[in-house]
Chain A
Amino acid sequence: MKTIAVYSSKGGVGKTATAVNLSYAALEQNKRILLCDMDSQGAASYYYRIKPKKKFNRTKLLKGDFLQFIRETDYPGLDLLPAHFSFRNLDLALTSEIDQPDRTALRKLLYVLEDEYDYVFLDCPPNLTLLSENIIVAADCVVTPVVPTTLSVLALEQLLKLFRKVACDKKKLLAFFSMVEKRKSMHAGVMKKYLKYPIFLRQSVPFMADIEKMGLYRKPVAAGPTRSVAPQVYRALWQEIMERRLKG
């Protein structure tokens, strides 16, 4: 089992769109997939039309009693652990559990899934907290979308600092340009400047109407009603991530 966290401290950069479509691209290769919606907003759960069961909450999650709350999506082989409203202060809970910050709690929780799934994807909320540290420690690979603007690149530098703080191997961090609009000169400029760094994946995700419309159809783009190149883009992105970090 490999864990892939889709993470950024910035909001609205395409994390959820990425987690939803990458998990589907991985499913297309006949793997057993779990998508964990770590964001109390529940956007990923919404895209897959899944609501949490009534009895689910943060405490159960942290106790490791969450297998019974995993639900199958409409796509056999792809399961989802829905978000719950109580996830909004998961990070506080992580601290109070044992009175001092525990960075390995999430890693330990995910261990029970080892034989059940080939890939576990984490869709993360946009913040820089103890939960973020847990996510970085738990993941075999942290994928971070970067909108090609100067501010977003700053957020990436912040993230690298966080990696140093938790003493994690920087190699497991992979960035890609998200919501790219070729016509915007700033986008082109930033990409030209940064794409040469190995932290950036070759594959970027353009700004596409089909991705924007996902909220309407509530399906990953590859299962949606329109024929577009978006699924190809996510397949290629997934391929590159696997080659860079997950092979062997």
Chain B
Amino acid sequence: MRIVRKEDLAADLLVIGGGTAGPMAALKAKMKNPALDVLLVDKATVRRGGSICRGMDAFNNVTVPGVATVQQYIDSIDLMSDGIADPNISKVVAEKSFAILRELEEWGVATFPRDADGNYMVQKFHPKGAFLAEMRGDIKPAMAKLLAERGVRVLNRTMATRLFAAGGRVAGAALFNIRSGVFQLCRAKAVILCTGGQGRFGLPDSGYLFGTFDCPFNAGEGYAMVYHAGGELANMEYNDVSPMLKDYEGPGHSTFIRHGGYLVNSLGERFMAKYSPEFLERAPSGIRERAMRTELREGRGPIYYDLRHLSPETVELIKEGIFAAERPTEKDFFALKGIDIGKDLIELTLSGPNMCGGHGPTGALVGVNAETRVENLYAAGDVASTGWGFVGAAWVFGTVAAEDAAGRMPALAFAAPDNREVAQELARLRAPLGREDGFDPEEMEYKVRRIIKPHLTSPKSEARLQAALRAVEGFRADMDKVRARDYHEVMKCVEVAAIIDTLEMAVRASLARKESRWGYGHYRIEHPEKDAAWAKKYAVVAKDMATGGMVTYAKPVPEYRG
């Protein structure tokens, strides 16, 4: 078995990741300029890849006129991020999300149920304002059909492993087909990266590497690709920890809470009242995590969702949303465990930490057009730092990136990738197949991920972080001993390398931010208070292109421009 390099590809616009943001970006680029040659690649398939593979029960973060205001949205994200999210980006999400809801409805891609008065059903989850619209529909195949109609070229089972840049401009990407083993360089005038966040980070309690909440097929390769191409990443120190159903890290939290569910401890107390009397269950996630960990530590666990006070109609709506639209297998899970969610308490556990620009603030630092520091390289969706943006930010920034790239395209030219870098990348992929013996990629992945929870969960200590840095060095050396038996395992080797890269980013950013912020989002034992010097500042992670080493520095969050 050998990876074969085939002829180079070229496209005006290369979109990497066909989940949520990617298909929207490809479609909008074609809508803006049908003459553009747009190529969309996904290591799964565009029809079923990514976080919303089966659909999603709510369009999170849509500002429906008359229901909530742009200012409320900006204020909510400001509160949740404690000032470490670009308010100009929140403004773009708030202003453009409703038009996207209407388009999805018009195209027949998704439906949005309305109440008896004909109004969209929108619920409150944020500290201020209601931004969660009920959503139904088999979104992905419908989007895939539109893409085919518009003439977007698609390559499925095609993984991007590295971006190439020349003189600070993006030049293309290395593509690897995980089934045929074909390697190709794809040159592009502009690239929109939509590969999702880091879903394979902290080990889930279930005992399975892939039993995660966030989509485990997004293993942080996007963060690694932006980094190696010279981009900046922000909020890598932020621990994205969500309450999850015990044993099955399936979704539920936002659905339960937005419909009025409670979090209770084993004494039946609605414990959030002690920690966040103002926002209760809707408190920012790091505050909620700290509350839950405190309850557990002090012996008042297990903790549960309690939906028993909700009306039968509301419980039906919850069931319909999760079982029909978002995660039908969750129905089987509850049946297996004998849990009736309207009548029984639902035990939960804490996931992650993961890294995500959708459920959190982590990702490539981008401007209001989704542009990164690397010229003509855009990032949209969970791979970008667009502050708790969920599907709303993925669709909005997919759109914004595509329109900007398509608008600028006449003036753009191909940059020439460095042939040595391409050859190096091919050699990196070939190496694990060439080893006669070695560690399995799964073993290596377990070894790396098992240190994440103990070393990165708040409270974080300097000693543990330093120890994690030393471990990272060891992991990199161990990667030379990992053997792949087939192309699927080569994919895993690339993923494990990305997990190691993102682990180093998380550790270095955690060391850099010498303060505590976001509750348990980032709590440092040695620096338990907020430090004014870090107010309105990102801890940025980037690659020093001269030395190849990882650097961190503080960078001001942009002022609100109104």
A and B from one complex: no
Binding site for A on B (CB under 8 A): none
